[in-house]
Amino acid sequence: MKCPGQDSRYWSGEDVFESDCPHCGHSVEFFKDDSQQKCRKCGHRMLNPKMDFGCASYCPHAEQCLGSMPPELVAAQGDLFKDRVGLAMRKYFGEDSRRIQHALDVTSHAEIIGKQEETADMMVIMAAALLHDIGIKNAELKYNSSSAKYQHIEGPPVAEKILEELKAPQELIEEVCDIIGHHHWPRDEETINFKVLYDADLIVNMIELYQDQPHTKKQLDELAASSFMTEAGAVQGKKTLIQLIQ
């Protein structure tokens, strides 16, 4: 006999729902027992946002603790956390597509750079990348300015609230908020997680700058050599920016 909870004949209207893709915003339909679905618009494989695996979304020991956890979710636990933070970021920025796209672009570069750093914590990096400019909305509302100093003031409280609602561990929340609170201004000594986020943000900012004021290949080489905090970031930055002038 099939369990009534798994039998769709007994499901309510809430057991079939739609959620926005964190990559493109397209609506994706889920049944309550779907672990993931593929976005028909952009192809992103999205995990079910209503499946609560608690700490499994960020804990490196999830596979040991949750032997019955679906294999695809064990393999994609980082994507689960990233998707949830991404959805929260999209919800917070609302119709501000420019800020949403900037955050997604920074996250994409941060993921590439971070995976080349053995000691990097990708959960911290992904959360920091998605939320690094989260303070800009309140900065503009309160101070009529998007300057770095106001972003650094307003960003951490918003990020903290989002991550607490996602039940992230306090240690992760504290590090992410610390990064957001000075992400434009590196200290004399920085963690690898900060450096990865800084380089990724720099790449996207340089792309946006180039679109307004094109640079020569020599200028790009000099900028890449002097500005990045990681070797992987410099390589990724140079590769990305050179593509703009070809």
Asked whether residue 138 falls in the same domain as residue 41, the answer is no
For the beta carbon of residue 225, count every other beta carbon within 10 angstroms. 11
Is there a domain that residue 51 lies in? yes
Is there a domain that residue 2 lies in? no
The total number of structural domains in the chain stands at 2
User: What is the domain range of residue 121?
Assistant: 96-246
Is there a domain that residue 82 lies in? no
Is there a domain that residue 85 lies in? no
Is there a domain that residue 8 lies in? no
Query: How many Å apart are CA 60 and CA 119, to the nearest integer?
Result: 13
Asked whether residue 179 falls in the same domain as residue 226, the answer is yes
Asked whether residue 70 falls in the same domain as residue 100, the answer is no
Asked whether residue 103 falls in the same domain as residue 223, the answer is yes
If you compute the radius of gyration of the chain from its CA atoms, what whole number of angstroms results?
Answer: 20
Backbone phi and psi for residue 100, each to the nearest 5 degrees, phi listed first: -65, -45
Asked whether residue 147 falls in the same domain as residue 240, the answer is yes
Is there a domain that residue 9 lies in? no
Asked whether residue 172 falls in the same domain as residue 133, the answer is yes
Query: How many Å apart are CA 26 and CA 28, to the nearest integer?
Result: 6
Question: What pTM value is reported for the model?
Answer: 0.72
Query: How many Å apart are CA 199 and CA 109, to the nearest integer?
Result: 8
Which CATH number do you get for residue 231?
A: 1.10.3210.10
Question: What is the pLDDT tens value at each position of the chain, 246 positions in all?
Answer: 444 444 555 456 677 788 898 888 899 988 877 777 889 999 888 878 776 555 555 555 555 544 444 555 555 566 778 888 999 999 999 999 999 999 999 999 999 999 999 999 999 999 999 999 999 999 999 999 999 999 999 999 999 999 999 989 999 999 999 999 999 999 999 999 999 999 999 999 888 877 777 666 677 667 666 789 999 998 898 888 778 776
Asked whether residue 169 falls in the same domain as residue 233, the answer is yes
Asked whether residue 28 falls in the same domain as residue 112, the answer is no
Asked whether residue 58 falls in the same domain as residue 127, the answer is no
Is there a domain that residue 7 lies in? no
Asked whether residue 215 falls in the same domain as residue 104, the answer is yes
